[in-house]
Structure 1
């Protein structure tokens, strides 16, 4: 009986001392990396050091962009906004480790932009998710509803066409 008791204690101590891996957390180095990437985006500093060279980015699409294409995408969109970025309004971050051992960071953010041409402010929720391997982002997905931005850009284009048409008629 004494041996069984000692064996039980040893077994409990052994299992208690084994490191349990976290499958879900709201604090991790990967989350801090995502926060830094968001800060860099807000500062219009397109730092690619967070990304693996082979990273694939999918923004509202099943077609991916390379790291360079993603940075070009952001820079090209700068032309439309006098200001833009993620707000500090209740951001949420979580890291999960899947059953397959993949590490993902999910975040839910609020994005706000002011259209350069009209001054209209647009605010929208955005969901971003990042897969990590060896401390680098290897996959990035972003989901948001761009309808309001697209409609505003279409209205700006229509206004420019109408103005050009009026100028052409006035010069006759």
Structure 2
């Protein structure tokens, strides 16, 4: 009887260990969805089907109240596109991971390289970017991005200053 109880306990223990959900992976349908979002950005096509209607985007934000809806995010990208003759994420060592938090939230993190050529002067700028996406029921509900935009901002300021200077010089 004692052996049967020990065997039963061992089976239960072994089964419990086998049925644990995967909490970290580098291969998942959510990662494929993020790769599709990156490709859409690079192609300047914006597929809303991968986002929940209530999705919120936070870019370089330090506030939970300062976010964009998906439509505002698309408009943000389109408005910025006028500054670049080319822009997009490169294939230079992208990294993707999916994690399930202790609270059961599913997030995909990615580390990418973004490269752009300024339309006004042809200068090329390369920036490392971290993006993270929260998923619910297979849809993106939250998108967070962090990067140092100072090089782009300074270049845009220099372009604007040069334009103002050339406009003020009489012909």
Q: Please confirm whether the aligned pair reaches a TM-score higher than 0.5, indicating the same fold.
A: yes
Task: Map 1:23-62 onto structure 2 (within 5 A).
Answer: 23-61=23-61, 62=63
CA distance in 1, matches of 2:106, 2:82: 34
Superposed displacement of residue 77, structure 1: 1.0
In structure 2, the residue matched to 1:101 is 104
SS at match of 2:103: coil
CA distance in 1, matches of 2:137, 2:80: 30
In structure 2, the residue matched to 1:142 is 145
CA distance in 1, matches of 2:2, 2:123: 75
Task: Report how many residues are paired.
Answer: 166
In structure 2, the residue matched to 1:5 is 3
Q: Whose radius of gyration is greater, 1 or 2?
A: 1
Superposed displacement of residue 14, structure 1: 3.2
SS at match of 1:22: coil
Task: Map 1:12-23 onto structure 2 (within 5 A).
Answer: 12-18=10-16, 19-23=19-23
Structure 2: segments with no counterpart, 5+ residues = none
**79-88 vs 16-25, greater mean Cα deviation:** 16-25
Superposed displacement of residue 163, structure 1: 1.2
**TM-score, scaled to structure 1:** 0.92
Residues 35-92 of structure 1: CA distance to partner in whole angstroms, max 9, x if unpaired?
Answer: 1111111111111111101011000012100000001111111101111111111111
Task: Map 1:161-172 onto structure 2 (within 5 A).
Answer: 161-166=164-169, 169-170=170-171
**TM-score, scaled to structure 2:** 0.93
CA distance in 2, matches of 1:26, 1:43: 24
CA distance in 2, matches of 1:88, 1:34: 14
Structure 1 residue aligned with 2:161, among 149, 158, 162? 158
CA distance in 2, matches of 1:82, 1:12: 64
CA distance in 1, matches of 2:60, 2:118: 21
Moved over 6 A (4+): none
Superposed displacement of residue 28, structure 1: 1.1
Q: RMSD in angstroms over aligned alpha carbons?
A: 1.2
